[in-house]
Amino acid sequence: MTFDVQDPEGLRLARALAPRERGAGDDERYARAAWSHLTEPGESTAGALVAALGPVAALDVAADSGGLVDETLEEGRRRWGPRLAHEPIARSLATAVRRGIRLVVPGDPHWPRALDDLGDHAPIALWTRGDTAALVHLSPGVALVGARAATSYGEHTAAELAADLCGAGVAVVSGGAYGIDGAAHRAALGVGGLTVAVMAGGVDRTYPSGNTDLAERIVASGGAVIAEVPCGAAPTKWRFLQRNRLIAALAGATVVVEAGWRSGALNTAGHAASLGRPVGAVPGPITSAASAGTHRLLREYDAVCITGTDDVLELLGAVPRERIVTERGFHVSDDTRVLDAMSFRAGRTVDDIARRSGHAPGDVEARLGLLRLVGEVEPVATGWRRRSR
């Protein structure tokens, strides 16, 4: 099997796919475009090979049936071989060019560095519809994800959080699906915020097709619709699960708004946690199956309970914890006992208040003096009484 990594037609298409601000050369871009056809998302053999040799030399090695004798590589070659052909790749690239899609790769100014945290599991390239600059404006960004079968409570909550986060200058990343994803994207668009949808299949075909209009609006707004799989790729279950790792890696924190017991959103949360990114979960009624997954995150995965936008900002590290600590105290001083022993109507003597409160009379006297200073009590003809405030 031979594959020319310098194929002129391939290089021409790669040049046409480059974003306006480009860093990588045509041959690297073409090699990465080819790689995104050969491998399935998250495949570490390909990732390690590309990281070690660079995409061009790695592709050369992958296409070479002889040379290196290495079990892992031979194993990879057996997987990549059936897909290694100029013609189908060129067809897919031509579709992308025709649709105005850009291929952002490492080395380009808009490549999101946050993805580097994925190591050998990082995507080899990002197929992008919309403004590629959106990819570097995801910092700060929050992933708002959740069930497709969301309730109105969940969609309302997703929309509130998304709108408020955008208002605070935070971008919203999600999966472009029905339910929570869609509510988050739409609310972000509604307030003129930045939002990015990460697809499991090719960006030339919106999945679900019912959200085609939403995807167009995201693109038109200055946001982006992206995928690591090329044009024409179907959104298989595996690709959905791997897509979730991209959502988790692109965002500074992941918040699951509503999710069933086995929702894919828990998988996104799992990816975020394994990347060391903070994970939040919005609680809901325990009688709602649509919140069973978020409660599971709270119970079993130590997710942070999210009750509003401030909590999400705190999760991102944007708000000092101090604000909350000062509201914590339930301090009840002995003054409470003195006040309990008094009346708003009748005056009572110090001895009477001492007996009722269980404080020593001298103590009561001292406390009454302080309470008078803050306007809580007042002396009257028959002793002391509480003041209405």
Give the interface with a copy of itself as residue ranges (CB under 8 A).
Answer: 38-40, 43, 75, 78-83, 153, 156-157, 236-239, 241, 262, 266-267, 270, 282-287, 291-292, 295, 298-300, 304-308, 311, 324, 328, 330, 332, 336-337, 339-341, 351, 354-355, 357-363
Give the number of C-alpha atoms closer than 13 A to the C-alpha of residue 103, restricted to the C-beta side: 36
**Per DSSP, which regions of 175-302 are E strands?**
195-198, 224-227, 253-258, 279-281
List beta partners, residue 348: 384
- Kindly tell me which of 193 and 284 has the beta carbon lying closer to a copy of itself: 284
Cα(195)–Cα(1) distance, rounded to whole angstroms?
A: 43
Considering the complex, what minimum distance in angstroms separates the CB of residue 73 from a copy of itself?
A: 12
Give the single-character DSSP code of 68. -
Task: Work out how close the CB of 225 gets to a copy of itself at its nearest, in angstroms, rounded to a whole number.
Answer: 22
Residue 130 Cβ vs a copy of itself, minimum distance, rounded to whole Å: 27
For residues 189 and 371, what is the distance between their CA atoms, to the nearest angstrom?
A: 54
Q: Which residue lies nearer to a copy of itself by CB, 1 or 220?
A: 1
Sign of CA dihedral 191, 192, 193, 196: positive
Q: With respect to a copy of itself, which residue has the nearer C-beta, 22 or 359? A: 359
Instruction: Give the shortest CB-300-to-a copy of itself separation in angstroms.
Output: 6
Supply the minimum distance, in Å, between the C-beta of residue 149 and a copy of itself: 17
Tracing tokens 């998988």 back to the chain, one arrives at 267
Question: Which of 218, 248 has the CB closer to a copy of itself?
Answer: 248
Contact (Cβ atoms closer than 8 angstroms) between residue 272 and residue 298: no
Contact yes or no for 364/357 (Cβ under 8 A): yes
Query: Residue 118 or 134: which CB sits closer to a copy of itself?
Result: 118
Please name the residues in contact with 388: beta carbons below 8 A apart, sequence gap of 6 or more: 344
Q: Could you give the CA distance from residue 386 to residue 378 in angstroms, rounded to a whole number?
A: 6
Which CB, 169 or 308, lies closer to a copy of itself?
308
> How is 9-65 classified by DSSP, letter by letter?
HHHHHHHHHS-SS--S-HHHHHHHHHHHHHSPTT-HHHHHHHHHH-HHHHHHHHH-S
Report the nearest approach of a copy of itself to the CB of residue 129 (Å).
Answer: 24
* Cβ 75 to a copy of itself shortest distance, Å: 6
200 closest CA partner among 164, 239, 238, 232: 239
To the nearest whole angstrom, how small is the minimum distance from the Cβ of residue 285 to a copy of itself?
Answer: 6
Nearer to a copy of itself, 139 or 288 (CB): 288
* Closer residue to a copy of itself (CB): 360 or 380: 360
